[in-house]
Amino acid sequence: MADDDSEAIMFAKALSRVLGWVYFLCWSGSFYPQPILNWQRKATLGLAIDFPTLNVLGFFAYTISTAAFMYSPTIQAQYAYRHPDSPETTVRFNDFLFAAHGAVLCVIIYSQFYPSIWGFKVGSRQKASRAILGIFWGSLLALVGIVFVVKTKGRRAGFDPAGWAWIDVVYALGYVKLLSVVVKYIPQAWVNYKRKSTVGWSIFPMLLDFVGGVLSLAQLLIDSSLQNDWSGITGNPVKFGLGNVTLFFDMIFFLQHYVLYRHPAKDIEEEEWEDERQQLLRQNIY
């Protein structure tokens, strides 16, 4: 009986590793269809600039937080102190690699909105909305504030996990990532709704996101069950939240692309010309 349990645990650990790398490939691959589509069309029309703006913020925050959990002895020790029943974090190397890779690709996608760099045709709005910029700069200001609190109010300048500690900064970075995911999809869904079209915006990232989200949640559940302590989920709320939020918005985009706007109400060439005309009018050279 003990041998059976041992084999089951080994299988579960192996399955967790496989799921981790498969969802890493799915989520990492999801970054490529949109910039490739932009390159093919030589335009970013159809893609809301708010989306890559928050992606840049979110993925840089996520990269730093996963790196801290993976490679910082201080953060690992503070995590173990606060989660004595499951002292090992559920962050894996593929989480860090995914985050770092995503940060680089997000910068590339964001740069495609600058004609001086790529020469692409862009929409009339070349800057993120005030609401998105408010979230962007507000998140950075909040992080600075938490660092200040940890340095001034924490015990031993944040190295004692019994009070304000550096792990709280890492958690804050994770929540910035989670906030960016919750908000970033809304402008794109709104743009699709206004245009009554998804032309110029790729559905393939959402398909890969959906598969990756399911596998990510499956891995997290397996890891928590292996530790026999479901605080593995509460100890890694970002990963758990990312999977659920991603699945929710993916289904909205599936509905838009495959059901509501299968046949765009407006000719896309006409729309692109109108968008360009509005740009010229704004520059007073039309």
Q: How many residues does the chain have?
A: 286
- The DSSP result for 92-126, as a single string, is -HHHHHHHHHHHHHHHHHHHTT-HHHH--B--S--
4 located within any domain: no
169 located within any domain: yes
pLDDT tens digit sequence for 200-252: 899 999 999 899 888 878 887 887 777 666 655 555 566 566 667 788 899 99
Residue 29 has a pLDDT of 93
Distance CA 15, CA 135 (A): 38
Q: What is the mean pLDDT of the chain?
A: 83
Residue 286 has a pLDDT of 47
Using the predicted structure, report yes or no on whether residue 178 has a pLDDT greater than 80.
yes
Lowest mean pLDDT among 4-8, 9-13, 79-83, 249-253: 4-8
Using the predicted structure, report yes or no on whether residue 256 has a pLDDT greater than 60.
yes
Using the predicted structure, report yes or no on whether residue 161 has a pLDDT greater than 80.
no
Lowest mean pLDDT among 19-28, 112-121, 225-234: 225-234
The whole-number average pLDDT for the span 121-135 is 85
The whole-number average pLDDT for the span 257-268 is 75
Nearest to 78 by CA among 178, 172, 158: 158
Whether the full predicted model's pTM is greater than 0.85, yes or no, is no
81 located within any domain: yes
Lowest mean pLDDT among 68-77, 82-91, 208-217, 270-279: 270-279
Higher pLDDT, 45 or 241: 45
Banded model confidence at residue 264, pLDDT cuts 50, 70, 90:
low
203 located within any domain: yes
Q: Which residue has the tokens 């959402």?
A: 206
Banded model confidence at residue 147, pLDDT cuts 50, 70, 90:
very high
105 located within any domain: yes
- Give the domain range for residue 161: 9-282
Using the predicted structure, report yes or no on whether residue 273 has a pLDDT greater than 80.
no
Residue 221 has a pLDDT of 80
By the 8 A CB rule, do 75 and 69 touch? yes
2 located within any domain: no
Into how many domains does the chain fold?
1
186 located within any domain: yes
189 located within any domain: yes
Using the predicted structure, report yes or no on whether residue 254 has a pLDDT greater than 90.
yes
Nearest to 239 by CA among 224, 260, 259: 224
Instruction: State percent of the chain over pLDDT 90.
Output: 41
